[in-house]
Chain A
């Protein structure tokens, strides 16, 4: 246990400080190369550096190597390869506008290392009722899981600081759940995801200095999904992602198809004169979590909407921890 605690402290510190130190250099390099996008929600429409994925993947790989030096496990290698592949999928989407189907399919392919290295257990655990053995079907679960977690985090990356702040909360809940279920080595890797996201949040929070882009959001989401599979906490991980899953669910049920946000002309939210966010009444616009938060109420600032999303994520996180505790109870 002592070794796990030492590893947790060193890995967390490595994850946090690598992203904390690398990101300012990345911001400067991106600004120098004019790799910036307009922040439409900001007064004056500031130009913000994008993508922040390279600093996130650097932090994940550095801290992952440190963890591997403590525990040379194939599970760590599989998670790092899957996460790196997801980063490259995102990077392609950052550089070139791809169709709505590109990301789900390409992300599904990033699950291959987990399958090839065989670092999964085909038993799917549920709270109160126990496990169900689904040897062949579980392969589909692995493939779908990475695609879903990657895309849901990407879809919630709509406001300053939301994707990284959301991941800090969700991954913290996942880490606590893994500790409850005594999967300590994977919990340490999950902790590195918490600290990588936390360091990035410092630059991503309102007013953002950098946006994660697809490469950043897919990296965080895919790593989260890979940890869930390898740590055998798929259901718990899905519960912790509640607000992001609702966002994707609302979006898909209103659009009735898989489509990129940029392809939709009708806007779900609009800006007031004093730069507050307000839900539109456009029937053709997608229904999203942000639109739902703003609907029927007074306009809110971007920061206020972000904090509502964080409160919802904390609620989901608590439910996921309760789910982990319920795993030990059998009816």
Chain B
């Protein structure tokens, strides 16, 4: 079937989104800073932002690996 490997790639992307969501909820959500007064929100948001960016970079890296694995034959174009 034409593009069948692309269906697998879309499915892999979906699984990665769900796993990423789980990590975000389990790791990001509990982060709470309490000792810096009015800066609590900014500091905790900063930490969450750094973790989020790291997660996005990892996600792109994993997706690239998945892409190379799925399309290893067709990408030799």
Ranked nearest first, the 9 interchain pairs of A and B with the lowest CB-CB distance are: A126-B21, A136-B45, A129-B25, A132-B29, A295-B74, A242-B10, A129-B22, A296-B74, A295-B77
Contact of A312 with B77 in the complex, beta carbons under 8 Å: no
Chain B residue nearest in CB terms to A130: B25
Q: A242-B14, A279-B77, A295-B75 are in contact. Are A135 and B41 (CB under 8 A)?
A: yes
Contact of A246 with B6 in the complex, beta carbons under 8 Å: yes
Q: Shortest distance in angstroms between A258's beta carbon and chain B's nearest beta carbon? A: 14
Tell me, yes or no, whether A243 is within 8 Å of chain B by CB.
Answer: yes
Tell me, yes or no, whether B36 is within 8 Å of chain A by CB.
Answer: no
Contact of A245 with B24 in the complex, beta carbons under 8 Å: no
Contact of A292 with B6 in the complex, beta carbons under 8 Å: yes
Chain B residues within an 8 Å CB radius of A36:
none
Tell me, yes or no, whether B71 is within 8 Å of chain A by CB.
Answer: yes
* Size bracket, chain A contacts: 35 or more
Cα–Cα distance between A295 and B2 once the two chains are bound (Å): 10
Chain A residues within an 8 Å CB radius of B73:
296
User: Residues 100-132 of chain A: 1 if any B CB is under 8 Å from the residue's CB, otherwise 0?
Assistant: 000000000000000000000000101111111
Tell me, yes or no, whether A297 is within 8 Å of chain B by CB.
Answer: yes
Cα–Cα distance between A135 and B71 once the two chains are bound (Å): 39
Listed in ascending order, the chain A residues whose CB lies under 8 Å from chain B are: 124, 126-137, 140, 235, 238-239, 242-243, 245-246, 249-250, 253, 279-281, 287, 289, 291-293, 295-297, 300, 308, 311-312, 315-316, 319, 323, 326
Partner of A293, one of B3, B21, B25, B42: B3
Chain B residues within an 8 Å CB radius of A137:
45, 48-49, 52
Contact of B3 with A319 in the complex, beta carbons under 8 Å: no
Chain B residue nearest in CB terms to A127: B18
Cα–Cα distance between A292 and B42 once the two chains are bound (Å): 44
Beyond known contacts A126-B22, A128-B22, A297-B2: 15 more, CB 8 A cutoff? A126-B25, A129-B25, A130-B25, A135-B45, A235-B21, A239-B17, A242-B10, A281-B77, A292-B74, A295-B77, A308-B2, A312-B3, A315-B7, A316-B14, A323-B18
* Selected A-B contacts with CB under 8 Å, 24 pairs: A126-B21, A127-B21, A128-B21, A129-B24, A129-B26, A133-B29, A134-B48, A134-B52, A135-B45, A137-B45, A140-B49, A235-B17, A239-B14, A242-B10, A246-B6, A253-B64, A292-B71, A295-B77, A296-B73, A297-B2, A300-B2, A312-B7, A316-B10, A319-B11
Chain B residues within an 8 Å CB radius of A235:
17, 21
Cα–Cα distance between A163 and B67 once the two chains are bound (Å): 24
Cα–Cα distance between A281 and B60 once the two chains are bound (Å): 25
Chain B residue nearest in CB terms to A243: B10
Chain B residue nearest in CB terms to A139: B45
Interface residues of B in 10-69 (CB under 8 A from A): 10-11, 13-14, 17-18, 21-22, 24-26, 28-29, 41-42, 45, 48-49, 52, 60, 63-64, 67
Cα–Cα distance between A250 and B9 once the two chains are bound (Å): 11
Contact of A312 with B10 in the complex, beta carbons under 8 Å: yes
Contact of A132 with B10 in the complex, beta carbons under 8 Å: no
Chain A residues within an 8 Å CB radius of B11:
319
Q: A133-B29, A296-B74 are in contact. Are A253 and B67 (CB under 8 A)?
A: yes
Cα–Cα distance between A319 and B74 once the two chains are bound (Å): 25
Q: Shortest distance in angstroms between A280's beta carbon and chain B's nearest beta carbon? A: 7
Partner of A308, one of B3, B25, B52: B3
Contact of B24 with A124 in the complex, beta carbons under 8 Å: yes
Chain A residues within an 8 Å CB radius of B42:
136
Q: Shortest distance in angstroms between A290's beta carbon and chain B's nearest beta carbon? A: 10
Chain B residues within an 8 Å CB radius of A127:
18, 21
Cα–Cα distance between A126 and B8 once the two chains are bound (Å): 22
Contact of A245 with B13 in the complex, beta carbons under 8 Å: yes
Q: Shortest distance in angstroms between B9's beta carbon and chain A's nearest beta carbon? A: 6
